[in-house]
C-alpha cells in the first residue's frame, strides 16, 4: 500500500512540472499571429500617445537646464547683492580701516573684545575682524594688489599709504594666475580669518577687479601695448574769478590729458601750494578724473595739510622723510602700477608728484651700484626707474590717459640735484618754471612766464585763442619776470574769465 501511494505522489509531481513548463513556454514564446491592419481611429490615438510620451520625456530635460541656469544666475545675483550690501554695513574691511583709533576702541568694547587699549591700529582692526567673522561667518575686503617676487601677493590699503600691515589680505599664487592679476589691480572679495599657523587674512573669492566683473580683465589691453598720442583734449584749471594762479597757468602753459609736466622750482617758491591748487581745480572742473597726490620724502605736516586742503575724492599717498629709501621706492611703484591698471580700463588718471628729485635720490640709494658713477655721485642705472615712472604719462588712443605733474628741485646747492634735473629736462612736454625773485617780493604765483611753456599747444587751444596767446606772450617776453607777472595779474583782476580777458586784451 505504501509503495502505491509513493508512486501516485511522484506521478502527480511530474504532471504538475510538465504543466508549469508548458505554461512558461506559452508566456515567454507566444505563437506568431497574422497582423491585422489598424483602423484610422487607432492610428490617430497611437500618434497622439507617442507625441505626448516624447514631449513628456523631453520636458524634464529642458526644464532641468533652465533651472540650473536660473539657479546659477540667482546665486551670482544674491552673492553680488550680498557683497554690495556688506560694503555698506559693518562687515567691510575698508570701512574699518578709515576709522580713528578712538572709534575702533568703541567698536572693540561693543564687540566684547578685552585688552585692546595697548594695541596698535592695525592690530586692533585685526582683532575686530576676527571676532566679527567668528560671529557672522562672512567678511569682505578690498585693496590694491602688490604681487611679490615669490608669486603670491597682498591687498594693501591706501589709508596706510600701501604700507605692509597686519590686516593685509593674502592672495594665493593660484588666484593670481587664474585671473591674470598684476600689481596695481584693485581687488574686492570675500575673506576668511587666519588659521592657527597663519598671520594674515586670506582672500576666498574674487568678487570684483577694478570695480568690475573679474571676467572682463581678460578683455583689457596691457598698458605697454596701448598707443600713445600727443595730448589733444584740454584740462581747464580756471575755476573762479579770484583764483589768478590757475588762470595764469591756463594762459601760459595749457594742460591736456596725458601731459607730462615738470614744475622746476627752487626751494621755498610755493610748489606744494601750487600742487594743492591744481588738485582742487581738477576736482572742481573734472570730477570724473582719478586724482592721486604722491608725496615722497616730505615733511609730515605737509602731508596733513595736503590731506585737509584737497577734496575728499583726492587720494593722498605719502612716504615721509623719516622713512627708508626702500619705502619711497615701494610706494611709488604701487601708485604707478595702480594708475596703469586704471588706464587699461579707460580711466583718466592724474598724478601730482612732489618731488621726482627725491624719488631719484631714493632709487640712487637702493639700486645696486653698476660701477658707472656720474657727476654728483649719481649711479648711471639709478635713473631708469624714475624715468619709467615719469615716462608712463601719455594720452591713449584706445581711451584713457595718464597725466603727471612732477616737481624738480634746482638751486639746492647739491650737484646731485642738478644732474637729476638735467636727466629729466627734455623728457616732459610741458615745463613750468618758478622764480625765486618773485617769491622774495611775495608775488604769487612765482612763474617765470618767458621760460614756461607747453609743447604742441596748438592741439589744445582754439586757433583764435592761440593767436591771442601768442600776442600776449610777445608783449610779456619784453619784460622781466617780476614786471610780467605783475602786469598780467593786474589785467586779469579786472576781468571775470580768461576768455573775457583775451577778447578785451589791450596791452599796447
For 131-156, what is the mean pLDDT? 83
Which pLDDT tens digit goes with each residue over 53-106?
Answer: 444 444 444 456 566 666 655 554 444 454 454 444 444 566 676 777 787 888
pLDDT of residue 155: 93
- Overall average pLDDT of the 342-364 stretch: 92
CATH code assigned at 126: 2.40.50.140
Q: Do residue 195 and residue 243 come from a single domain?
A: no
Residue 79 lies in a domain: no
Residues 164 and 310 in one domain: no
The reply to whether 425 and 328 lie within a common domain is yes
Query: Distance between CA atoms of 451 and 179, rounded to whole angstroms?
Result: 48
Mean pLDDT of the chain: 80
pTM: 0.76
H helices within 367-480, ranges in order? Answer: 384-391, 415-424, 436-440, 463-477
Co-location of 169 and 283 in the same domain: no
Say yes or no: 394 and 361 in one domain. Answer: yes
Q: How many domains is the chain built from?
A: 2
CATH number at residue 338: 3.40.50.300
Residues 214 and 240 in one domain: no
pLDDT at 71: 62
**Interstrand relation of 201-209 and 169-171 (parallel, antiparallel or unpaired):** parallel
Give the domain-ending residue among 219, 237, 270.
219
Q: Which of 191, 219, 247 is the last residue of a domain?
A: 219
Residue 210 C-alpha cell reads as: 577694478
Output the pLDDT for position 125.
Answer: 77
Domain that holds residue 304: 228-505
Distance CA(308)–CA(254), nearest Å, equals: 27
- Lowest-confidence segment of 39-48, 117-126, 289-298, 426-435 by average pLDDT: 39-48
- What is residue 396's three-state secondary structure? strand
The mean pLDDT value for 251-256 works out to: 93
Q: Do residues 234 and 207 both lie within one domain?
A: no
pLDDT of residue 422: 87
pLDDT band at 45 (very low <50, low <70, confident <90, very high): very low
Whether pLDDT at 253 is above 50? yes
Q: Are residues 236 and 157 in the same domain?
A: no
Residue range 227-245: average pLDDT? Answer: 91
In this model, does residue 259 exceed pLDDT 80? yes
Residue 266 has pLDDT above 80, yes or no: yes
479 lies in the same domain as 392: yes
- Whether 311 maps to a domain, the answer reads yes
Mark which of 154, 184, 219 sits at the end of a domain: 219
- For residue 85, tell me if it sits in a domain: no
Any bridge partners for residue 317, and if so which? 294
Give helix 415-424 / helix 356-366 axis angle, nearest 10°.
110
Query: 459: closest CA among 255, 317, 272, 297?
Result: 255
User: Would 111 be classed as within a structural domain?
Assistant: yes
Q: Are residues 256 and 357 in the same domain?
A: yes
Residue 11 forms part of a structural domain? no
Q: Is 289 helix (H, G, I), strand (E, B) or coil?
A: coil
Do 361 and 435 belong together in one domain?
A: yes
Report CA dihedral (263, 269, 271, 274) to the nearest 10 degrees.
-110
Residues 203 and 316 reside in one and the same domain:
no
Who wins on pLDDT, 270 or 27?
270
| Polymer length in residues for the chain | 508
Q: What average pLDDT does this structure show over 290-301?
A: 93
% of the chain at pLDDT higher than 90: 38
- What local confidence, expressed as pLDDT, does residue 396 receive? 93
240: how many CB neighbours lie within 10 A of its CB? Answer: 12
Contact 401, 394 (CB under 8 A): yes
- Asked if residue 417 belongs to a domain, the reply is yes
Residue found by looking up cell 497582423 in the block: 35
Q: Is residue 53 part of a domain?
A: no
Residue 106 belongs to some domain of the structure: yes
Amino acid at each position: 500500500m505504501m509503495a502505491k501511494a509513493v508512486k501516485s505522489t511522484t506521478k502527480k509531481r511530474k504532471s504538475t512540472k510538465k504543466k508549469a513548463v508548458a505554461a512558461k513556454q506559452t508566456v515567454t514564446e507566444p505563437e506568431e499571429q497574422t497582423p491585422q491592419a489598424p483602423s484610422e481611429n487607432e492610428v490617430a490615438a497611437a500618434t497622439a500617445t507617442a507625441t505626448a510620451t516624447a514631449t513628456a520625456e523631453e520636458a524634464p530635460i529642458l526644464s532641468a537646464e533652465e533651472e540650473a541656469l536660473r539657479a546659477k544666475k540667482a546665486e551670482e545675483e544674491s552673492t553680488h547683492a550680498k557683497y554690495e550690501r556688506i560694503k555698506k554695513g559693518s562687515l567691510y574691511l575698508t570701512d574699518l580701516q578709515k576709522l580713528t583709533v578712538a572709534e575702533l576702541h568703541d567698536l572693540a568694547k561693543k564687540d566684547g573684545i578685552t585688552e585692546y587699549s595697548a594695541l596698535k591700529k592695525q592690530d586692533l582692526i585685526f582683532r575686530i575682524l576676527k571676532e566679527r567673522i567668528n560671529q557672522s561667518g562672512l567678511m569682505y575686503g578690498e585693496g590694491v594688489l602688490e604681487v611679490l617676487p615669490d608669486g603670491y601677493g597682498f591687498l594693501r590699503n591706501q589709508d596706510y599709504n600701501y604700507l605692509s600691515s597686519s590686516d593685509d589680505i593674502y592672495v594665493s599664487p593660484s588666484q593670481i594666475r587664474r585671473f591674470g592679476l598684476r600689481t596695481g589691480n584693485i581687488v574686492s572679495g570675500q575673506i576668511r580669518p587666519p588659521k592657527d599657523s597663519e598671520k594674515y587674512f586670506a582672500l576666498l573669492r574674487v568678487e570684483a577687479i577694478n570695480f568690475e566683473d573679474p571676467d572682463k580683465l581678460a578683455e583689457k589691453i596691457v598698458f605697454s601695448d596701448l598707443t600713445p598720442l600727443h595730448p589733444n583734449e584740454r584740462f581747464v584749471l580756471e575755476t573762479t574769478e579770484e583764483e589768478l594762479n590757475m588762470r595764469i597757468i591756463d594762459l601760459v602753459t595749457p594742460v591736456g590729458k596725458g601731459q607730462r609736466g615738470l614744475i622746476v622750482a627752487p626751494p621755498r617758491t610755493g610748489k606744494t601750494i601750487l600742487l594743492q591748487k591744481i588738485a582742487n581745480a581738477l576736482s572742481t572742473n573734472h570730477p570724473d578724473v582719478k586724482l592721486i597726490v604722491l608725496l615722497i620724502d616730505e615733511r609730515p605736516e605737509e602731508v596733513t595739510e595736503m590731506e585737509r586742503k584737497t577734496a575728499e575724492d583726492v587720494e593722498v599717498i605719502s612716504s615721509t622723510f623719516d622713512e627708508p629709501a626702500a619705502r619711497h621706492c615701494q610706494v611709488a611703484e604701487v601708485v604707478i602700477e595702480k594708475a596703469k591698471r586704471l588706464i587699461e580700463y579707460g580711466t583718466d588718471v592724474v598724478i601730482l608728484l612732489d618731488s621726482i628729485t627725491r624719488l631719484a635720490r631714493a632709487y640712487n640709494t637702493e639700486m645696486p651700484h653698476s660701477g658707472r658713477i656720474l657727476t654728483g655721485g649719481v649711479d648711471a642705472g639709478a635713473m631708469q626707474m624714475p624715468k619709467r615712472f615719469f615716462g608712463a604719462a601719455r594720452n591713449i588712443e584706445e581711451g584713457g590717459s595718464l597725466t603727471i605733474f612732477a616737481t624738480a628741485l634746482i638751486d639746492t646747492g647739491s650737484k646731485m640735484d642738478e644732474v637729476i634735473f638735467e636727466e629729466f629736462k627734455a623728457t616732459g612736454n610741458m615745463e613750468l618754471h618758478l622764480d625765486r625773485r618773485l617769491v622774495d617780493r611775495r608775488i604769487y604765483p612765482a612763474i617765470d612766464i618767458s621760460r614756461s611753456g607747453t609743447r604742441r599747444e596748438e592741439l589744445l587751444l582754439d586757433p583764435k585763442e592761440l593767436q591771442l596767446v601768442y600776442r600776449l606772450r610777445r608783449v610779456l617776453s619784453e619784460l622781466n619776470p617780476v614786471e610780467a607777472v605783475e602786469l598780467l595779474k593786474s589785467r586779469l583782476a579786472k576781468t571775470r574769465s580768461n576768455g573775457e580777458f583775451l577778447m578785451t586784451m589791450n596791452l599796447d
